[in-house]
Amino acid sequence: PARAPAVYHAMARYEGPAVVAELPLGYPDFDQRAVFYSTVHWRPVVNGYSGFTPPHYGRLTAVLSEIPRHADVSLGILGELGVTHVIVHEAAYIDGEGVATSAVLRQSGAVELFRDGHAVLFQLR
């Protein structure tokens, strides 16, 4: 954990209750990373990975995979899940979609708390 990327240490410094979503979501490599690095901040994450995929995870992946294309639905599901913070790995997307995802979050009122290169931590309204 001491060598974890800085965005996870920034999340660890946040005081108060939090639920974190890491984007992109639904890809095993990124979901495993989210679960592993949650040991730095010890907050619940909506990402997950195991030998079982819950029925709702496919819907969640679909809704959160293209936030700029259907922002209202995506932001709604984050609210339903009680997500308070989102970590966007902008460089993990193609064709600028990561930057566009961050822009949608900002436009919805999310506050950028921390940026380290292409890893951005947002606090949702």
Burial of 92 (0-12, 13-18, 19+ CB in 10 A): middle
Q: What is the pLDDT of residue 124?
A: 98
Asked whether the bond before 54 is cis by omega within 30 degrees of 0, the reply is no
Q: Which residues pair with 105 in a beta bridge?
A: none
CB 1 within 8 A of CB 40: yes
- Name the residue among 7, 47, 44 with its Cα closest to residue 27: 47
pLDDT in tens, the chain (125 residues): 889 999 999 999 999 999 999 999 999 999 999 999 999 999 999 999 888 888 889 999 999 999 999 999 999 999 999 999 999 999 999 999 999 999 999 999 999 999 999 999 999 99
pTM above 0.85, yes or no: yes
Q: What is the pLDDT of residue 47?
A: 94
